Amino acid sequence: MIDLVAANHTNRELELMLEGRKPLAMFYAELAELPDEELIPEERFAPYVSKGQFIRGETTVSGSFSEKLGRKTQIRFVFFALREEAWRVAAMKLLKEQHHKTNAWNETCERAECVLLGYTDEETDAWCKKAFAK
């Protein structure tokens, strides 16, 4: 049985990437919340991007209308990939942009995201079983 808490990469992205155990990290926040190093840790990843060890990408997508903001939300996604896994940035960007165009998310999308982020098949199966339990 997979321990989903132990398997979770959250707040361990940089450590796992430096160990070569995570090919892609993804962070996101509403533009009004940025900059915020706790939400999108640009400064922590910057030295590795500067050295060419990591590749950085980003996209901003429109969300639903927010009464609080008085406008549609604008979500910035920032991606960091190991240099040799740079293709994952484009793939994740495409996945996120299409999701926000259709506002449809399903187990197939979730599995694609998990694979891109470097979760194992076993971890992905356990997560999806919990997330999509009927």
Domain range holding 64? 4-131
How much of the chain exceeds pLDDT 70, in percent? 94
pLDDT attached to residue 64 = 81
Phi/psi at 37 (5° precision): -60, -25
Going by DSSP bridges, is the β-strand pair 24-30/54-66 parallel, antiparallel, or unpaired?
unpaired
pLDDT on residue 63: 82
Question: CA-CA distance, 26 to 105, in Å (whole number)?
Answer: 17
pLDDT digits (tens, 9 = 90+) for 8-51: 778 999 999 999 999 999 999 999 999 999 999 999 999 999 99
Total domains in the fold of the chain: 1
Please report the pLDDT score of residue 7 as a whole number: 59
88 with 113: CB under 8 angstroms? Answer: no
Residue 81 has pLDDT above 90, yes or no: yes
- Enumerate the β-bridge partners of residue 65: 72
For 88, other C-beta atoms within 10 Å of its C-beta total 22
- Give this prediction's pTM: 0.90
